[in-house]
Structure 1
């Protein structure tokens, strides 16, 4: 599979959910004190992401 979510502890000991595509981290969440909170963040992205608007900002 070319893409997946991972949950990993950061240097501060917090759990971070990452979206990885072809072994490259595309985005990550803030750090959470529990693995369950990181899983909830992934669930929120899966639920709310498909309907999210795309906003292009020209500098």
Structure 2
């Protein structure tokens, strides 16, 4: 897993903290990972499969 830095407004950070406080996610990082996963599923994947014919995504480990 790679470490990235993200800047966001205080309101978003507070909202993330509230989700963690409510026990919906174990950490801010996990909430952000889930949000990004959901965005990618919505925007880039069809029926659970990457749209590799339309976009080339390279995953480096």
TM-score (norm 1): 0.39
The higher relative CO (CA closer than 8 Å, separation ≥ 6) is in 1
Higher-Rg member (1/2): 2
Higher share of residues assigned strand: 1
Higher share of residues assigned helix: 2
